[in-house]
Amino acid sequence: MLFIPLEKAIDWKRPPIITLILIIVNTFSYFAFQGDDNENYHKGMEYYFDSGLADIEIPFYKDYLKEKNNKDKDSKEIKPEITAVVGEERLSKKEALMNNHLLFSKMLSDGEFLGKLESGEIIKDSDKGYQEWVKLSAEFYKRMNKATFYEYGLKGYKPTFVTMITHMFLHANFEHLFGNMIFLFIFGFSVEMILGWRIYLFTYILAGIGSGLFYVLLEPASASAGIGASGAISGLTGMYTVLFGLRKIRFFYFVFVFFDTVKAPALIILPLWLGYEFYNHYFIPSNINNLAHAGGLISGAVIAFLAKKYYRNIDTDYMDENKKIEEFDELFSSAMGYISNLQTDKAKVELLKLDKKWPDNLEVLRQLFNLCKFEPSSDDFHATAKKILTLKGNTVQVNKVVIETYREYIDKAQPGPKLTLAQFMSLSFRFLQSNHLSEAEQIILFLLKNKVQDKPIVEALQLLADKYSVTDAKKYKYLLNLRNTLFPK
């Protein structure tokens, strides 16, 4: 089962810096520190059997398993090992060796036995060969710890503060790393945008720790080295669902051979993810640490709940952006439908609603201006024209709409344009920058006629003359002479 949100696209003007850094750190950790992990791990295993350490420890482990089986005859967990131990006298040398390798693998993940072994409950200092065992055991773990994942992975029976952090930056193989980084990117960038980078980084680490603690609490006898960013990423998933809450999110889902997209409240997906992880843990044995995933989901959900309650800087606009876009599209389509049916009054009402809710939207203002220009003396016509002509931004699209609106407004406005001298001055500079020189000249001469003589008009007049110096020498001389006459240096 797979649910992937498809709700948000990345705004690269505001990139998810911490998410990208986390991906880089995880990738660097894998390639810089884990390149020889498999080789070092297998060298440690070879030493275990070649050094004679196996001959010392495996018999003790067999006795431990037999004793444990006698105490719990219904235990299904150790049945395969007990079957191997009980029938070992009938095994060939090759089969016995394979059996010992099987027992070694089981022993290396058996935290209960290793804990007793390390505390001196299994092999005592009074036992024959004790000193030899201490020396061989120390060398064995020295070699095993050369495998970064083994030394810094999180073991349920022996957690440390260091491994509680380091385990979330280690991976078993490239496929494990690649898959985790994909999901870190998918969930991370949205959560980072919602919480802000500082809180996001803190909650990511906290979710990873929460995931580890959950694993330790539910598997305290495990000595398997838990590694991977998936616990922390599951935390992001839990945060995502709680932060978006009952907002409807579009998800891509894959269940067995069925896949499609569905729109559902984000929070509803949380129990589905949790149920999936617990089901896999108890009914589908694998090397995947489903408990860590479940712990991450729960930790992330709790963190997000507390953040929503106490953290005031959650970016709700970011979460509501798609909903607003859908609302805008619906209202705008309605307005355009009225225009198509020549129901201009109804279209105008819809466009005014849109303008009130989404001020400075270029397309809304353009359509509203086109409707209002049939009543050139109306307040709506003057107000809409003024909004367009005072728009901020210097893009080609904005400048195109501004110049077109200006030409029509100057021509049609009744009883005349209602712009202040300051607004005319601002327009002159906009037109000079976009090389609409005739309109700029018209405004500058109008301002001079109205005896505007402050510093901006001098700059505009000089700039206009400089622009014409390339294209019209006669006009350049006229404007330069005008500038020197009116504003002598």
- The 10s digit of each residue's pLDDT in 20-37 is 999 999 999 999 999 999
pLDDT of residue 269: 87
Q: Which of the residues in the chain have pLDDT under 50?
A: 75-78, 82-83, 86
pLDDT of residue 90: 58
pTM for the whole structure: 0.75
pLDDT of residue 376: 93
The distance from CA 96 to its chain's CA centroid, rounded to whole angstroms, is: 51
pLDDT of residue 86: 47
pLDDT of residue 72: 66
CATH class of 2-33+166-314: mainly alpha
pLDDT of residue 322: 83
* Residue range(s) in the chain whose domain bears CATH number 1.20.1540.10: 2-33+166-314
Do residues 444 and 437 lie in contact, with contact meaning Cβ atoms separated by under 8 Å? no
**How far apart, in Å, are the Cα atoms of 189 and each of 4, 192, 236?**
14, 5, 10
pLDDT of residue 98: 84
68-123 pLDDT tens trace: 887 765 544 445 554 455 455 555 667 777 888 889 999 999 999 999 999 999 99
pLDDT of residue 14: 86
